[in-house]
Amino acid sequence: MKTSQKSDEPFDDESYLYIAKKAGLSFEEMQMMDMGQVMDYITEYVNSETKQSEYKPKANKANQAMFDSF
């Protein structure tokens, strides 16, 4: 399991808005949610993007029968 890396970079308003927009939230949606809900949404977005980018289908090495059927 990966552990998150601690960053000394501050998480300011601009970072918050940028990440929320990158996750697909509109400004109106962010106004309807509290900060905790937006952070939960961002966390789910990051987790789903990480899982998708880490997925690599297993490649099978072709054997003679596969070449013959091709």
Can you give the pLDDT of all 70 residues of the chain as single tens digits?
A: 444 556 677 778 888 889 899 999 999 999 999 989 999 999 999 888 877 666 666 777 888 988 888 7
Q: CA torsion angle for 15, 21, 25, 31 (degrees, to 10)?
A: 50
Helix axes 35-54, 13-22, angle to 10 degrees: 50
